[in-house]
Amino acid sequence: MDIGCGGGFFALPAARMIGEKGKVYGLDTNADSIASLGQQASREGLKNLCLTIGRAEETTICKQCADILFIGMALHDFQDASKVLENARSMVKPTGRLANLDWKKEPMEFGPPLRIRFSAEMAVSLIKGAGFAVESVKDTGPYHYLVIATP
């Protein structure tokens, strides 16, 4: 499940990887991005991508259906990140994982404004507050960090 999937930067490769026996759910508020992603999936013959237009604070796609719930460089963009994570908690299987990849809260010439970014520590606090147990926090290079958590 890709929450804040946009145009499918992560959702499309996931759909290609898991093949016909799996499903990738994508959720985003931008109807144009969802439409474009759906068209790209159709061109590629991908029938395993299920797309929803909606706000992550208000949308629960399923109950305990996700093996992996991914938030890719978007947690800082939501109006209520805590609510998004609470909804995520309800969608992740008991044996599943939450993966939050985001921008480091450091000055750099690209990415979102520094003032809206979450530090890894802030992201961990929000994730724990939603009922997840944090397994790891990793530096994934000069610009991003990755938090992996379990319900």
Q: Lowest mean pLDDT: which of 10-14, 18-22, 93-97, 103-107?
A: 18-22
pLDDT, tens digit (0-9, with 9 covering 90-100), for 42-68: 999 999 999 999 999 999 999 999 999
Helices (H), 4-131: 11-18, 31-43, 81-91, 120-129
pLDDT of residue 28: 97
| Domain region containing 65 | 2-150
28 touches 57 (CB < 8 A): no
pLDDT of residue 88: 98
Q: Kindly state the DSSP code that residue 118 receives in the 8-state scheme.
A: P
pLDDT, tens digit (0-9, with 9 covering 90-100), for 31-45: 999 999 999 999 999
Whole-structure pTM value: 0.94
User: What's the structural domain count of the chain?
Assistant: 1
Cα 138 to the chain's mean position, in Å?
Answer: 16
Confidence of residue 140 (pLDDT cuts 50, 70, 90): very high
pLDDT of residue 132: 98
The pair of structure tokens assigned to 13 is 């490769």
User: Kindly report the CA angle at 74 between 44 and 105, in degrees rounded to 5?
Assistant: 135
pLDDT of residue 107: 95
pLDDT of residue 27: 98
56 touches 81 (CB < 8 A): no
- Output the domain CATH number for residue 23: 3.40.50.150
Average pLDDT of the residues of the chain: 97
Closest to 101 in 3D by CA, of 139, 134, 131:
139
